[in-house]
Amino acid sequence: MNRRPNRIKEVILKRSTFIIFLILILGAFGLLRIVTTHKDIDDVANIDLPIIEILTQIETNQLEQSINFERTIRYAEELTPGNDFALQGFVMADSTFRYLAQLVDIDLLEAEHQVAEALKQTKQEAQRIKLKGLLLSIKKLESDHTSYEKHALEVIDLLEVGRIEEAVFASERVEQEENQFNKQVEGVLMRHEMFTEALVKIVEQEEVLSMKWIVTLTLLFIILSLLAVYTFSYKIWRPLEDIRTGAERIGSGNLDARVKLTSSSITSDIVESFNSMADRLAYSQKEIDRFVSFSYRTADDLKAPITNLASLLDMLGKDNMNPSNFKAILNNARKTNQQMEKTVSSLVEVNKVREELMADKENLDFSQVFGEVLNALAGKLKSAGAGIKKDFSECERIDYPKAQLETILKHLILNSIAYRDPEKTLQIKIKSKSINGHTTIIVKDNGLGFDSIKYKDEIFKPYTRLHAHVDGSGLGLYIVKMIVDFHRGGVRIESQPRNGATFAIRLN
């Protein structure tokens, strides 16, 4: 039998997937915030700090350079014949100035290179705007330092040839350029440091904001998860409680107890299984009652021939039995034995059908199954002179146990043969229909018929014969009803005396 999907399992998987999805969103959000913050910190560590360091170094070297330029002027003013100290100081200040000038030039080029590389790496628009402005400032510093260095060396050259007054006069312009350059370096450095501090504050604020968002979303997801778990648990618990109550009612003997099924219930498969079990229990109880009744009827049906056979055997055992009486009694004994054999055979068939009710369903073709039944009943149909018309065009196939479908068709046809009208040629019409999603076969004949309103329940009882002359076991329709009830089908009958009968069998 096909198993239905486990709805609770599906819902648990969906709810778990939803919660996991929320956790993944939270994790992705937290990771994104961490990566963004980490990128900002990297920009500070890998871009801003090295630039601040090189700018600070430029500022320091430029101040040292300025000091040594002033020393060259002071020592030049003290140069007199024989003053070796002043000469050595002048030479030392001159060489130091030139060395520091080269360092500042190198530092400026290094700063320009660092800013250019940083501009390639950074993706932040604010950082790019700041770096572009810084790059222009450094290029201007390079130009101003070149001019300052050129004029300062001209002054030193004048000092070397003893043109002190001209050198002192020219040094005023150099000092102005020097002050301007120092202010520019200091201004660039201060602006960059301020920007870096602002960026650090933004990073700190983003870290705090990220933590707030993560905490808020975590609490929100926890609340949503708790609500989902609570509602899910309630939707499971409530039907299970109903099932428990229903089981108690069934246990107390109320086989009509059922659990109300809501369309949105996630335990619908369990509720359906419970109700199906209850239906099976009710069916089983009815079947037990029917079987008990059937057993009594069978015993009663066998009692008369057994008693009759015993009497006939006693008569056959008498010594004064004449040949003609002996032959008559023997014939009666044989008829009684045949009646018993027919009853026992019918009993065996009923038990066989009952044992095979749980057989697996197959996808069957009505025409093919019906053809096999006709072949099996060919002799009886020929003897009855029956004509059969079939129409399975509306519903050609069905999922049903093959042996049971054959049994239903066989007994419906045998019933039409048994109750045929001797004054008419027997005509049997059989067709299949799909009514409200249920497969139904309709068998109609023109036989003797009966009052279907009066005998609608009687005809499905075992050993029932509405016409005394009919030769049969009286179990055919009982077997049909037993199979149909097991598959939760139904039987509808329309018949009137001398006007045939119509059996509509809903198979599922």
Query: What one-character-per-residue DSSP string does 439-469 give?
Result: EEEEEEE-S----TTTSTTGGGSTT--SSTT
Residue pair 104/65 in contact by the 8 Å Cβ criterion: yes
Parallel, antiparallel, or unpaired for β 490-495 and 501-506?
antiparallel
Buried b (16+ CB within 10 A) or exposed e, 146-177: eebbebbbbbbebbeeeeeeebeebbeebbeb
pLDDT tens column, 448-460 = 888 888 887 788 8
Query: What 3-state class would DSSP assign to 212?
Result: helix
User: How large is the average pLDDT for residues 283-304?
Assistant: 65
User: How large is the average pLDDT for residues 419-425?
Assistant: 88
User: What ranges in 356-457 are assigned the alpha helix state H?
Assistant: 366-376, 378-384, 402-418
Least confident of 23-32, 70-79, 379-388: 23-32
290: nearest Cα among 54, 460, 153: 460
What would the two tokens of residue 255 be?
Answer: 């086989």
Residue 457: its pLDDT value, please? 76
Most confident of 187-201, 276-290, 390-404: 390-404
By the 10 Å C-beta count (0-12 exposed, 13-18 middle, 19+ buried), 186 is classed as middle
Domains for the chain: give ranges and CATH numbers.
37-214 (1.20.120), 268-355 (1.10.287), 358-508 (3.30.565.10)
pTM for the full model?
0.49
Neighbours of 192 (CB within 10 A): 21
Q: d(Cα 432, Cα 166) in Å, to the nearest integer?
A: 128
Torsion, CA 75, CA 77, CA 81, CA 87, rounded to 10? 20
